[in-house]
Amino acid sequence: MSSHYEPFVLFHASHLTVLALTVAVPLMLAAIARGRPRLERAIRFIFALQIAGIWAVWFVVFHRMGWLDLGNGLPMDLCSWAAIATIVTLVRPNQKSYELAYFWALAGTIQGLLRPGIPYDFPEFRFIEFSLFHGGIIAAVVFLTFGAGMRPYFSSFPRVIAWSFVYMAAAGATDWALGVDYGFLRSKPIYPSLFDLMPAWPWYLPVLVVLGLVSMLIYYAPWLVADLARKVAKRRV
């Protein structure tokens, strides 16, 4: 089956198309849905169904192809936790699940989409599934932000940091108990990634923590700048 497909090439036309659509589609939908609560709600549910649906299809196909095992069949990777937080927010918008979806998607899922660990290019199933699932999470967060008017706050940091450590503890316990490698807490990915620039295990683990905190600051920075600009503007009035 897979031998009929071209090997995946990083930033090839198909990959760039996925990246562009991941940003362009939710921004377009946000512009259309702005000021239209019913349409905004409908789009949220469509995003939720898309993420959950492609996740379910992934399980079925991987099971039938014999690709499903303990190392990939449990929802213990960060993208799975980001997907759950995103689906919860899409179905029932709330600040706590949104901020998890926002930071986990932008700091984690986007890294996967930029450097996918998939063997073949479009239209092989794993390329399509990976793009729809990971791209869907990011696109949904973009829509929640610009279409549903949600945003992170500085008060989000303690909660997101705490839940991130909960994830690392859960993934680490799963890795230790089953001999798997969720969260890449036991070894680096076999495909090219940012991990290649880090020191060897276990020294890259504290680097991951620091990079996570830096990523949160980077993705919060636009909101901080906007808040400061509004304060300056109010003082001048």
The domain limits of the chain are 2-236
Segment 64-76 mean pLDDT: 95
Report whether pLDDT(4) > 90: no
Whether pLDDT at 234 is above 90? no
| Residue with token string 């949160």 | 216
**pLDDT confidence bin for 194, thresholds 50/70/90:** confident
Element spanning 218, H or E: helix 204-236
Question: Please, what's the b/e burial string for 199-232 (b: 16 or more CB within 10 A of its CB; e: otherwise)?
Answer: eeeeebbeebeeebeebbeebbeeeeeeeeeeee
State the first-to-last Cα distance of the chain, in angstroms, to the nearest integer: 66
| Six token digits for residue 47 | 């995003």
The tens digit of pLDDT for each residue in 31-54 reads 999 999 999 999 999 999 999 999
- In the structure, what pLDDT confidence band is assigned to residue 236 with cuts at 50, 70 and 90? confident
Of 73, 97, 94, the residue nearest 83 (C-alpha): 97
Confidence (pLDDT) at 233:
84
Name the residue type at position 194: L
CA 15/CA 8 separation, integer angstroms: 9
Q: Hey, what amino acid is at 119?
A: P
What average pLDDT does the structure give for the chain? 94
pTM of the model: 0.94
Q: Which residue has the higher pLDDT, 193 or 48?
A: 48
The average pLDDT across 63-74 equals: 95
Q: How confident is the model at residue 100 (pLDDT cuts 50, 70, 90)?
A: very high
